[in-house]
Structure 1
Amino acid sequence: MDQEQASPDTTQQREEAVTAVAIETLEELRTRHKKEQRDLTAKATALKKTATKGDKKKKKEVLAEVAQLEHGLNQQQESEEKAWLAEHGSSAASGGAHEEEEEEDDFDPNDIPIDHLTMDPTPSSKQPKQHQQQQQSSGGGGGGGKKPNRQKARKDRKAQALKELQDEAEMEAAGQVNMNEVERKAIEELATVMNVTVKDVTADGHCLYNAIADQLSQHYQTEHGDMMSPDDFNEYCKDLESTAVWGGQPELLAISRVHKVPIWVVQMGSPTVKLSADVYSTKTPLMVSYHRHMYGLGEHYNSLRPNNNKHV
């Protein structure tokens, strides 16, 4: 999957976020963190809906993306809390510890880790019933003067709140437009008119180059009957082969000029971009599709193969 590159703006935003910790109370900081976790839960649910049933590859990619988003948020929140404690000292934080213990029954449904919200809610939804059965079997109706099990009751409330949050996140995600599906259908319609088929390219940060490499190999097979050597293609981009730097129109233009072939870029909502079409008008163009919404972390390129190509 294409990896998101840290830009100067992103770095500055993180620094500002850490600086902002100093003017928040610890309670305000943790409240904001809970809201960020809830927002991420809704986003994770929406991403999971983009993986169609039976598509194990897409499901694996989505789960990896969700895990990366969760890891990034957890790291950011951990650094913010450490910065707050470094600024104010641990004594300021310990002042609220006794209050939290006294108000243990005032359960906050937001106090639920993100990893629980992204899992199957079935086991959690059954938990309150199990606790209820345990209470009945332990003779909770007797008048023995025993104090109610506050910890067990709190777990029951936490499980119920977890299920409610999951249901709420799924309802919110259900109302969102699946732009990945809209874009996929639009590009497939364009590809049908052009009598080509979208050939999925691995989302590893090199998708633009891999899509072009696939096109070059198809043309080479047609002309020579053998697969093009990777070295032949990587000569002009060897400086990029060890990194996941994203490519764009400048790289496409460079590829077009190096190989003296036009390149067409099919995308949703815009005319097909035809690079070097006037310069190499007699050559068969390389064709790729440009996707903005296929993956949540950035843009993606796929290769477009002719429908009647025996090498597909």
Structure 2
Amino acid sequence: MDEGDVETPEELLLKQHRREKKDLQANIQSMKNSVPKNDKKRRKQMTEEIAKMEAELDHKHEEELRQLVSTSDTQVEEAVNGVEGLTVEVQPRVTKAQKRRNKKAAQERERENRITEAEVQNLQGERHLEGVKLAEKLSSRGLQIKEISSDGHCMYRAIQDQLVRRDESELSVKELRCRTAAYMRGHADDFLPFLSNPDTGDVYTAEGFEKYCNDVEHTAAWGGQLELQALSRVLRCPIEVIQADSPPISIGEEHAGDPIILIYMHHAYGLGEHYNSVEQLKEPADNKRAECERTEG
């Protein structure tokens, strides 16, 4: 066996730590699924319990690593003391393979620490708090967030998802963009006064407005409230936008029927702002099983 293939005790311990963290995350996910999203008290207790479990595991791992290093130092010292009658300066040779393993182990420790810190920050961060607030608002209406990919088309994809769920249309994202741009071009007086050059602050010229509409139609330019107004009129349907820290925004209230519901998030991804769709609230599997048992009983 090549010496580069031999795993050191430190590498084996790190591998064990990764397995234990993976098992803990699976346990945490199971805990989250077992608590209804509208049960604020139990979810708060669960969050505190999760933080405690993660802290205990981190402490255990740090202690095991400390003991491993301490044991290794003791073994070297005993080996030196065991050579009677000799005064020898022990300088163990570190092979290139060992140096590579040491470097790899140090990088893996740093990576694990970054992951742990990110998970703790997420539990206390703006993204997590925003998600909790939105979940509470939606659960009271029997709804939950339907994740939409973040690719610049999220607003149009969320509208498309809502139309499919309502069995009203199968318009593609491209078709929605084309219709939005066409409506804005045909009703420039309704939109041009609200658009300005982001660099200068000046109101768009006719040429600037045409470029804006071309971007709406042909690129992955993000959509906003003006595009939603155009879509509401194109689809002849009201649109409601739910946010975590503000009242819902209603667009196109002059149209009849149930509104298309979108979620606007300020802290969803690295780029920040993002639109999601909604779907019917799904009961956790444990709740459904308990309900079945009560019915059968």
Q: TM-score, normalised by structure 2?
A: 0.46
Determine which structure has more spread, i.e. the larger CA radius of gyration: 2
